[in-house]
Structures are given as structure tokens and as C-alpha cells.
Chains A and B, each alone.
Chain A
Amino acid sequence: DIQMTQTPSSMPASLGERVTISCRASQGISNYLNWYQQKPDGTIKPLIYYTSNLQSGVPSRFSGSGSGTDYSLTISSLEPEDFAMYYCQQYDSSPLTFGSGTKLEIK
């Protein structure tokens, strides 16, 4: 199975700050990488698909990049609703696997 390592596991940040979350795969995944957001009430929604494509309805302050084994999610200017958990997920090979998550907290 492909292991997905996310860093950091938690990140205190301030409103308006630019933040980057990293995701490293245990082997190359050819950009087959999605990002999801989970709110404290458990609601999950997709943010980015295929490394850098913004899901419909997601604000443009979210962006994704990467290649090979290393990927990242950037939020350009934090809004109150962005404080949540973030997960990367690879779909290069089965089983689909997720990162362990990054909790974005208010500083």
C-alpha cells in the first residue's frame, strides 16, 4: 500500500495568513492526488483534484501543487471557515489511501 505522510499534523495560524500543508507519498503517484477538508461537525468536502485542479465551488484562495512523491495544499489568506482538518488522498493504486491529516487551528 502507498503510505501518505502529511506534515505538519497540526498548525496554529492566524486569519489572513498564508499556510502550506505538505503530503509525501511512499512512492511516485503521478499527480493522482486529491485534497479534502473535514469540518469539526464531520462534514467532508473535496477541495482539489488531480494535484492542482480546484473543485467546483471552492474559493480560489485554495491551490495545490506537486509532482512525483511531494505535494502541497496552500491557502493564500485564511478565512474563519478554513479552520478544519485537511487530508490528502492518492488514487494512483489500490487501495486508495489518505494522509493522517493536518489540523488547522486558530492561533
Chain B
Amino acid sequence: EVKLQQSGDELVRPGASVKMSCKASGYTFTDYAMHWVKQSPGQGLEWIGTIIPLIDTTSYNQKFKGKATLTADKSSNTAYMELSRLTSEDSAVYYCAREPLGTDVMDAWGQGASVTVSS
């Protein structure tokens, strides 16, 4: 069974950073890209960026450059996203989603992880 298990919800202080994880199981991790998507409260979906673990290549939405850093650990089949210099605008649910390489469709999604930025 394909599963993307995301790390738990986070409460963080303004100005801090947070690193969340997305552990993949049930498939070959390097056969897929991993996307990250933001959903602000009551809002739609916003693409943050993508990492291709096979070649360790990243692609970012310009809006999130400097805010998000995507990494992947092939030895543990885990993708990570670190968000830095957090503000209230970063309070949202964040999803990871895999894409079979070259298909341009996110065919499996994590359950989402909530980040709340508050003092």
C-alpha cells in the first residue's frame, strides 16, 4: 500500500524555523518526484516546489524561494521541507504529494501537517 506519512502538527514562534517530514512507503522512492503544497486556512491550494530524489534536483515557486527548502533522504525514503523566518502568513496545512516521474499528476498525497505560527 502506498503511503505518505507526514510528521505531526507544529506550534512555532514567529521568526523560528520548522522542518517537517514526509515518509514514503509502498513504492520505490526514487521513481517519483515529491511536491509540497500549502493550504492556508479556508483557502485553496498553492504549489511550493518539487524535489526529484533520484537526481536531488529541486524546483521552487518563486514565491517560496528563500522561505522553503526541500530535501530528500534516499536511505530512509523521506522527503523534508524546512520553512524559515516564520510569520503568521505561514500558518497553514502543508501537504506532500508524489508524482510518477514525467506524468505531471500528483497521484498520492500525505495526510497534511498543520503549522501554527504564534507567540
Interface residue ranges, A against B (CB under 8 Å):
32, 34, 36, 42-46, 49-50, 55, 87, 89, 91, 94-101
Contacts and interface: CB of A to CB of B under 8 A. Distances in A.
Interface residues of B, number: 21
Interface in B43-66: 43-47, 59, 61-63
Contact of A34 (B46, B61, B104): B104
Interface of B: 35, 43-47, 59, 61-63, 93, 95, 97, 103-107, 109, 111-112
Contacts of A32: 104
Given A42-B111, A42-B112, A44-B97, A96 B105 contact: no
A87 B45 contact: yes
A87 B44 contact: yes
B59 A46 contact: no
A50 B109 CA distance: 18
A95 B111 contact: no
Interface of A is mostly: loop
B27 to A, nearest CB: 14
A98 B105 contact: no
Nearest to A89: B45
Contacts of B35: 96
Contact of B105 (A43, A49, A87, A95): A49
Contacts of A94: 59, 61
Given A34-B104, A95-B61, A95-B62, A45 B109 contact: yes
Given A42-B93, A95-B62, A95-B63, A100 B44 contact: yes
A59 B54 CA distance: 33
A102 B116 CA distance: 25
Given A98-B44, A99-B44, A91 B104 contact: yes
